[in-house]
Amino acid sequence: MILSFFDQFMSPTHLGIPLIALALSLPWVLIPTPTNRWLNNRFLTLQGWFINRFTQQLMLPINLGGHKWAVLLTALMLLLITLNLLGLLPYTFTPTTQLSLNMGLAVPLWLATVIIGMRNQPTAALGHLLPEGTPVPLIPVLIIIETISLFIRPLALGVRLTANLTAGHLLIQLIATAAFVLLPMMPAVAILTSTVLFLLTLLEVAVAMIQAYVFVLLLSLYLQENV
């Protein structure tokens, strides 16, 4: 029973071929593209409004040099939201529950922000390792601590996204299993458990969107420090 709970996080394969590439490419098919008409339908209008508002809020505190990242960060936001929400459907696979995928997204983007800071403003980038006004005896210790915290950032990005989604999926499966088992024995308790399951599902929908936003927001903050 314990192993079956974690089977949902295994990467699906067909005839020995991993299907994670298909799971990553499918969300882009579901996102509609604008047409050449003067007026789009309501869904396209809502999608365009959401993308514009999100991009404005994300790029507001960043200098003009960092606005080149707007398309990349917005596309990453849409990808993560779509993957997280599709993973809540029954009999689906959530690629963002894989730590390897999340680290593969977090490490290159974090490293790009660090390289940009070292290339454009090396003095300010290295100055983040030592706060102003630090006593002389604490300088070596603080430099080591800040360096460690700098390298922990991509790990925190990947682990946060993986842990939140994995915990939510496990809770949903545990409560759904309890409701199914209790239904023939105690229908009243099963109905109460199903109500909890419904509320938890709504919570997980919010968590799926919030975690995607937090992932991109933290990347934008790292970019802001180095631009």
Q: According to the model, what pLDDT value does residue 196 have?
A: 92
The most distant pair of C-alpha atoms in the chain lies apart, rounded to whole Å, by: 70
pTM of the model: 0.84
Angle at 84 between CA 83 and CA 88, to 5 degrees: 110
Q: According to the model, what pLDDT value does residue 138 have?
A: 78
Q: According to the model, what pLDDT value does residue 205 have?
A: 94
Could you tell me the end-to-end alpha-carbon distance of the chain, in angstroms, rounded to an integer?
50
Instruction: Give 174-208 pLDDT, tens digit per residue.
Output: 898 888 888 888 888 889 999 999 999 999 999 99
3-class DSSP state of 89: coil
CB contact at 8 A, 26 and 20? no
Q: According to the model, what pLDDT value does residue 199 have?
A: 94
| Nearest CA among 205, 164, 63 for reference residue 120 | 63
Residue with the two structure tokens 């959401």: 50
b/e per residue 54-85 (b: at least 16 CB within 10 A): bbeebbeebeeebeebbeebbebbbbbbbbbb
Q: According to the model, what pLDDT value does residue 5 have?
A: 65
b/e per residue 167-194 (b: at least 16 CB within 10 A): ebbebbbebbebbeebeeeeeeebeebb
Residues contacting 34, CB < 8 A, separation 6+: 40, 44, 48
Residue ranges of the chain with per-residue pLDDT less than 70: 1-9, 14-16
CA distance 124 to 119: 11
Q: According to the model, what pLDDT value does residue 6 have?
A: 64
Q: According to the model, what pLDDT value does residue 1 have?
A: 46
* CA 74 to mean position of chain CA atoms: 12
The secondary structure of residue 15, as a DSSP letter, is: T
